[in-house]
């Protein structure tokens, strides 16, 4: 029995010697972009609720984007790998709640998901297929309860203004990683908390500190809009 276990261990070690590392995906890391709907819907741009109704007052997914360390990113990598709705039929109801479309005219969301897959997802084909892209993105988003993290730190979607360093500190304290924070402007020119980008390693498994902390927000007076 001991000899058998020993033989199996040796066999596993021997196989390990010949297991090659996963192929380099051709990019450096992913951004998981989470979006505050109150900011998307409070700009001059029109916003429309999806056909399923007003999304929850929570951060939704914008996308999972392969990126290079120098700040640029690949896009539309494989036009032959078109979006196929039938491949994600089991995920649609979850996508509708967690990856809601806000574009006009009101629609179910397929246009948004198609855009994200074709522009960004096809650049991560060596890591995951279309179903994997959407499934993995949903799972990554579920690992961070962003609204709760901010609310626990007293940063609430109540139209009040907050400091960039407080937003980043609250997220670092709760998750251990530093994200990128992006703002947009409302019609009164207030900067609003719009998107928070978490960096994820190139195998789409671990959250990491962002290589380029290039926030696009002022240091203070960031409005967290009601939704
Ligand atoms: P991207 O090309 O991935 O950087 O995303 C930008 C595009 O996504 C723009 O055309 C935006 O209008 C669109 N977009 C961003 N957020 C949403 C959303 N929640 N619903 C629908 N379209 C969106």
Catalytic site residue from 62, 118, 194, 195: 62
DSSP tag of 164: H
Judge if the beta carbon of residue 117 lies within 6 A of ligand 1: no
Contact in structure between 147 and 58 (CB atoms under 8 Å): yes
pLDDT tens-digit map of 132-168: 999 999 999 999 999 999 999 999 999 999 999 999 9
Residue 148, in any domain of the structure: yes
State which residues form the domain around 97: 30-223
Judge if the beta carbon of residue 62 lies within 6 A of ligand 1: yes
Domains of the chain: total: 1
Q: Would you call 131 a catalytic residue per the annotation?
A: no
Catalytic site residue from 82, 87, 115, 116: 116
Mutate to test the pocket of ligand 1, among 37, 115, 137, 196 (most ligand atoms within 8 A of CB): 115
Q: For residue 4, is pLDDT > 80? A: no
Q: For residue 3, is pLDDT > 60? A: no
Q: Would you call 115 a catalytic residue per the annotation?
A: no
Residue 175, in any domain of the structure: yes
Residue 39, in any domain of the structure: yes
Q: Structure pTM?
A: 0.91
Binned at pLDDT 50, 70 and 90, residue 212 comes out as confident
Beta bridge partners of 66: 30
Taking residues 190-206, report their average pLDDT.
97
CA distance 70 to 25: 16
Residue 13, in any domain of the structure: no
Q: For residue 20, is pLDDT > 80? A: no
CATH number at residue 133: 3.90.730.10
Residue 119, in any domain of the structure: yes
Residue 21, in any domain of the structure: no
- Residue reference for tokens 């996508």: 95
pLDDT of residue 58: 98
CA distance 91 to 52: 15
Q: Would you call 62 a catalytic residue per the annotation?
A: yes
Query: Radius of gyration over alpha carbons of the chain, in Å?
Result: 20
Judge if the beta carbon of residue 162 lies within 6 A of ligand 1: no
Residue 7, in any domain of the structure: no
Q: For residue 56, is pLDDT > 70? A: yes
- Residue reference for tokens 């959250």: 207
pLDDT tens-digit map of 86-135: 999 999 999 999 999 999 999 999 999 999 999 999 999 999 999 999 99
CA distance 28 to 46: 34
E strand segments, the chain: 29-35, 60-67, 161-162, 180-185, 191-201, 207-208, 222-223
Residue 6, in any domain of the structure: no
Contact in structure between 1 and 9 (CB atoms under 8 Å): no
Closest among 186, 212, 98 to 147, alpha carbons compared: 98
Q: For residue 42, is pLDDT > 90? A: no
């Amino acid at each position: 029995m001991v000899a058998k276990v020993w033989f199996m261990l040796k066999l596993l070690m021997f196989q390990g010697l010949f297991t090659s590392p996963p192929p380099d995906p051709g990019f450096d890391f992913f951004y998981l972009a989470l979006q505050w709907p109150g900011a998307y819907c409070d700009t001059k741009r029109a916003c429309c609720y999806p056909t399923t109704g007003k999304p929850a007052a929570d951060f939704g997914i914008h996308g999972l984007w392969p990126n290079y360390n120098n700040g640029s990113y690949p896009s539309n990598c494989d036009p032959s790998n078109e979006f196929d709705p039938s491949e994600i039929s089991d995920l649609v109801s979850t996508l509708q709640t967690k990856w809601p479309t806000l574009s006009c005219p009101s629609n179910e969301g397929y246009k948004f998901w198609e855009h994200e897959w074709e522009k960004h997802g096809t650049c991560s084909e060596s890591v995951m297929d279309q179903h994997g892209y959407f499934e993995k993105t949903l799972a990554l988003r579920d690992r961070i309860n962003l609204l709760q993290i901010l609310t626990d730190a007293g940063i609430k979607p109540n139209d009040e203004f907050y400091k960039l360093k407080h937003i980043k500190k609250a997220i670092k304290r709760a998750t251990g990683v530093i994200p990128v924070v992006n703002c947009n402007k409302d019609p009164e020119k207030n900067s609003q908390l719009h998107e928070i980008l978490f960096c994820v390693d190139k195998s789409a498994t671990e959250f990491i500190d962002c290589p380029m902390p290039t926030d696009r927000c002022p240091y203070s007076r960031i409005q967290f809009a009601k939704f």
